[in-house]
Amino acid sequence: MKKPLKNIRWISVGRRAAAGFALLLFLFPSSAPAFSKWQHELVAAIAEQNLTPAAQSQVRRLLGPTTTLASVSTWADKVRGQRRETGPWHYINFPLELSEPDFDVMNTRQGNVVWAIVTRIGILKDPQAITMERIEALEFLVHFVGDLHQPLHCGTGIDQGGNRVRVLWQGKTTSLHSVWDGKIFFIKTEEIYPWANRLQEDLSPEEKEEMAAGTPYEWMVESARIAREFAYPKLPSSSFRQGTRPPELSEDYAQAARPIFQRQILRAGLRLGRLLNSIFDPAPTGDLAEAGVKEPLAATVGD
């Protein structure tokens, strides 16, 4: 077993199914939500704002001149009921005691969110892929990059990524997963683009580039660290005791979680933008098509 990572600094796919593998450790119920609609839209809006002109042109060629990345960012959730094989592509679960997933987690027959991202990149870069396959791959990719940055999508399978951890949020019973899907930080649809600007306003080009760096595997490890070292351990101990009244999440928990949550949204948007640039305009960004299981993450969770 690898040693835990230390020194974390916290800061405020006609549509045809792609054949593949999906992870089946503990499936989320088919009706379970992923990142909330507005969160995926916000991630996509940030990505749109960071596309090169060549990448923007290629995205429009696939989606059409009036269709935005934000408007297709939740398609993957809408088809989960009909496309059951895609359900496990939204997450990856492994025991909290592991600082990184082992071989059995990464290489199961049905896939996981890291596998789904890497294979969608491959479809988009395949000159033999038909147009509808590439459109589907793009819509999946936009969604899955967002999901990868929701820490509970990289949580523990034994509680279905926090879906079985009951808590009280503003007086109502909900799940820890749901809290991290959008209850911690909520905005209205009309605020998507203003917030996309706001989250980036103090970042230099160099800071954006640094934040967007890495591979899907590294981003997954980063999200799992947040789940392991913040989302779970900061809960009241009674959250995990059967038959007890769900504990109220304190304002202290929410205040500490909110900047982490916003930071994950920003990271997801910048990283999605960089991925799309690498696919459609690789000269300035380098080719990230092989960005999969690389060396373990060595950087901190903060800047």
What is the Cα–Cα distance from 162 to 153, expressed in whole angstroms?
Answer: 9
What is the Cα–Cα distance from 14 to 11, expressed in whole angstroms?
Answer: 43
What is the Cα–Cα distance from 214 to 217, expressed in whole angstroms?
Answer: 8
Q: pLDDT tens digits, the chain, 303 residues: what are they?
A: 333 333 322 222 333 333 332 332 333 333 344 456 889 999 999 999 999 999 999 999 999 999 999 999 999 999 998 999 999 999 999 888 898 998 888 988 889 999 999 999 999 999 999 999 999 999 999 999 999 999 999 999 889 999 999 899 888 899 999 999 888 888 888 899 999 999 999 999 999 999 999 999 999 999 999 999 999 988 876 555 666 678 888 888 989 999 999 999 999 999 999 999 999 998 755 555 444 444 333 333 333
Q: What is the pLDDT of residue 187?
A: 83
Class of domain 37-285: mainly alpha
Number of H helices, E strands in the chain: 12, 2
Q: What is the pLDDT of residue 243?
A: 62
Instruction: Determine contact, residues 153/268, Cβ cutoff 8 Å.
Output: no
Instruction: Determine contact, residues 247/235, Cβ cutoff 8 Å.
Output: yes
Q: What is the pLDDT of residue 107?
A: 85
Cα dist from 24 to 67, 75, 221, whole Å:
34, 22, 19
What is the Cα–Cα distance from 225 to 217, expressed in whole angstroms?
Answer: 13
Q: What is the pLDDT of residue 150?
A: 95
